[in-house]
């Protein structure tokens, strides 16, 4: 039977540098046929010279691509716009400074369904993926069987947006909360967790490489008063899930405790 499944690769970007080209290079050498995926890029914030650079860059590649510009700042808003403008059955979120292995899309597509989420192993790198270091999600990967149901056991995979392939039906009408500066990924994943029945590893290991860039948004310092307001909002949203029918209560409690831990660590 002919496989018509396709992937939307979603990449938000803000003032991109040379690392965006490296990210796109890793997508251009995917073993998955080029007609099976489309790369969606959303530039947010300052428009020039970045827009011209991105459009020129995309001409170098043979994969299908679509570009949009969003004046408003924010990775969550950019991701939401790209979810809405894309049409493919599956969605892969990739940060503009990260890399993926050549078999990333093809092998995740083999194990992902409307209820199963394919997952990849995660590594950190600084200069080159020839020298990588462990990542907390990658460490968990080695401990998991080929398919895992318990959300408590697999909870670390519900924190970042990277290293997974998600069916559009799993996402449904859920979108990233644009009120947040931190914790929006984990809240998004917790919200859609009700539609995820199982996490599946491909037969052949696929890898997602996180660039440990010093000035990346995830590593910027945030004043404690803003962090307090941010995490208080996140915890309130988790409590809404906790009392909603269908959610794994133990799993949602772990999300609340993890948020409290981040808040307390910020005091040090």
Q: Where are the domains of the chain?
A: 7-265
Q: What pLDDT, on a 0 to 100 scale, did the predictor assign at position 219? A: 52
Give 265's pLDDT tier (boundaries 50, 70, 90).
confident
Q: How far is the C-alpha of 208 from the C-alpha of 240, rounded, in Å?
A: 32
**CB distance 140 to 157 below 8 Å:** yes
Assign domain 7-265 one CATH number from 3.10.20.740, 3.90.1200.10, 3.10.129.10, 3.90.550.10: 3.90.550.10
* Percent of residues, the chain, with pLDDT higher than 70: 94
pLDDT value of position 187: 98
State which H helix or E strand residue 186 sits in. Answer: helix 184-192
pLDDT of residue 263: 82
- Mean per-residue pLDDT, 97-114: 98
Q: Is 60 exceeded by the pLDDT of residue 1?
A: no
Residues 208-221 as b/e (b if ≥16 CB within 10 A, e otherwise) read bbbbeeeeeeeeee
Range of lowest pLDDT (76-85, 216-225, 258-267): 216-225
In residues, how long is the chain?
268
pLDDT of residue 268: 47
Q: Could you give the strand order of the β-sheet that contains 121-125, starting from the edge strand earlier in sequence? A: 99-100, 207-211, 121-125, 132-134
Q: Report the pLDDT averaged over residues 64-90.
A: 97
Average pLDDT over the chain, rounded to whole? 94
Interval 56-80 mean pLDDT: 97
């Amino acid at each position: 039977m002919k496989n018509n499944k396709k992937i939307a690769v979603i990449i938000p970007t803000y003032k991109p540098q040379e690392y965006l080209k490296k990210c796109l290079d890793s997508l251009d050498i995917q073993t998955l046929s080029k007609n099976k995926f489309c790369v969606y890029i959303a530039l947010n914030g300052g428009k020039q010279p970045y827009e011209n650079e991105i459009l020129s860059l995309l001409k170098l590649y043979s994969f299908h691509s679509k570009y949009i510009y969003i004046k408003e700042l924010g990775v969550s808003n950019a991701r939401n716009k790209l979810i809405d403008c894309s049409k493919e059955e599956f969605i892969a979120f990739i940060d503009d400074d990260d890399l993926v292995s050549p078999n990333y899309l093809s092998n995740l597509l083999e194990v992902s369904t409307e209820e199963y989420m394919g997952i990849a192993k995660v590594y950190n790198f600084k200069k080159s993926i020839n020298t990588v270091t462990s990542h907390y999600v990658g460490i968990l990967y080695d401990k998991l069987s080929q398919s895992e149901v318990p959300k408590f056991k697999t909870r670390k995979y519900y924190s970042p947006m990277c290293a997974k392939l998600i069916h559009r039906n799993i996402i449904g009408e859920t979108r990233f909360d644009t009120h947040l500066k931190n914790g929006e990924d984990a809240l998004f994943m917790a919200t859609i967790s009700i539609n995820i029945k199982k996490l599946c590893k491909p037969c052949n290991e696929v890898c997602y490489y996180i660039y440990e860039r010093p000035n990346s948004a995830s590593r910027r310092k945030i004043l404690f008063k803003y962090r307090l307001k941010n995490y208080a909002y996140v915890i309130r949203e988790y409590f809404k899930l906790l009392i909603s029918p269908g959610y794994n209560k133990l799993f949602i409690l772990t999300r609340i405790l993890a948020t409290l831990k981040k808040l307390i660590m910020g005091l040090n």
